[in-house]
Amino acid sequence: MSYHLIDLIQSLGTPRILVLGDLILDRYLWGNAERISQEAPVILLREQEQEIRLGGAANVANMLRGLQAEVTMAGVVGADRDGEDVLAALNTVGVDCAGVLTDHTRPTTVKQRLIGQAQHRHPHQMLRIDRESRQPLEVMYATQLMDRVISCIPRHDAILISDYAKGVCTPEVLRRVIDVARDAGVPVIVDPAPTDDYSIYRGATAMTPNRDETGRATGGRLLKSYDDAFAAGKSLVEQLELDLIFVTLDKDGVAVVRKDGSQEAFPTRQRKVYDVVGAGDMVLSAIGLGAAARWKDADMARLSNIAGGLEVEQVGVVCLSRDELVQDLLQDRSRNEQKNCRIEIVKRHLESRRHLGQKIVLTNGCFDVLHIGHVSYLKQAAELGDCLVVAINSDRSVKKLDKAADRPIFPELQRAEMLASLECVDYVVIFDEETPHAVLEALRPDMLVKGGTYTPEQVVGREIVLGYGGEVKVLGEIPGVSTTEILARLRGDRTTLPHPARSPQPDDPVRKAG
pLDDT in tens, 404-444: 566 788 899 999 999 998 989 999 999 999 899 999 999 99
Distance spanning both ends of the chain, measured CA to CA = 54
How many helices (DSSP H) and strands (DSSP E) are in the chain?
18, 18
Strand 206-207 vs strand 387-393: parallel, antiparallel, or unpaired? unpaired
278: left (phi over 0), alpha (psi -120 to 50) or beta: left
C-alpha torsion 15→20→25→26, nearest 10: -70
Instruction: Give me the chain's average pLDDT, please.
Output: 87
> What per-residue confidence (pLDDT) applies to 485?
66
Centre a 10 Å sphere on the Cβ of residue 71 and count the other Cβ atoms it contains.
Answer: 27
Domains of the chain: 2-331 (3.40.1190.20), 343-478 (3.40.50.620)
Residue tagged active-site, from 22, 281, 328, 426: 281
> What per-residue confidence (pLDDT) applies to 36?
87
CB contact set of 493 (below 8 Å; sequence gap of 6+): none
> What per-residue confidence (pLDDT) applies to 512?
29
Contact (CB, 8 A) for 111 and 130: yes
DSSP one-letter string for 50-110: EEEEEEHHHHHHHHHHHTT-EEEEEEEEESSHHHHHHHHHHHHTT-EEEEEEEETTSPPEE
- Is residue 281 annotated as part of the catalytic site, yes or no? yes
Strand (E) or helix (H) holding 356: none
Contact (CB, 8 A) for 226 and 253: no
Between CA 326 and CA 469 the distance in angstroms is 26
> What per-residue confidence (pLDDT) applies to 316?
58
* Nearest one of 284, 270, 260, 267 to 209, comparing CA atoms: 284
Please calculate the CA angle 10-15-17 and round it to the nearest 5 degrees.
140
Between CA 297 and CA 302 the distance in angstroms is 9
In sequence order, the β-bridge partners of residue 388 are: 361
Sign (positive or negative) of CA dihedral 448, 452, 454, 459 = negative
Strand 158-162 vs strand 447-451: parallel, antiparallel, or unpaired? unpaired
In sequence order, the β-bridge partners of residue 471 are: 447
Q: Which residue numbers in the chain have pLDDT < 70?
A: 1-3, 119-120, 271-278, 312-317, 332-337, 402-406, 477-514
Helix (H, G, I), strand (E, B) or coil at 147: helix
300: left (phi over 0), alpha (psi -120 to 50) or beta: alpha
Contact (CB, 8 A) for 185 and 154: no
> What per-residue confidence (pLDDT) applies to 261?
94
Read off the DSSP letter of residue 47. Answer: E
> What residue type is 90 in one-letter code?
L
Centre a 10 Å sphere on the Cβ of residue 285 and count the other Cβ atoms it contains.
Answer: 35
> What per-residue confidence (pLDDT) applies to 486?
66
Q: What is the CA radius of gyration of the chain?
A: 30
Specify the pTM: 0.73
Phi, psi at 210, each rounded to 5°: -85, -175
In sequence order, the β-bridge partners of residue 25 are: 54, 110
Between CA 126 and CA 275 the distance in angstroms is 12
> What residue type is 353 in one-letter code?
R
Between CA 12 and CA 7 the distance in angstroms is 9
In sequence order, the β-bridge partners of residue 130 are: 111
Contact (CB, 8 A) for 324 and 339: no
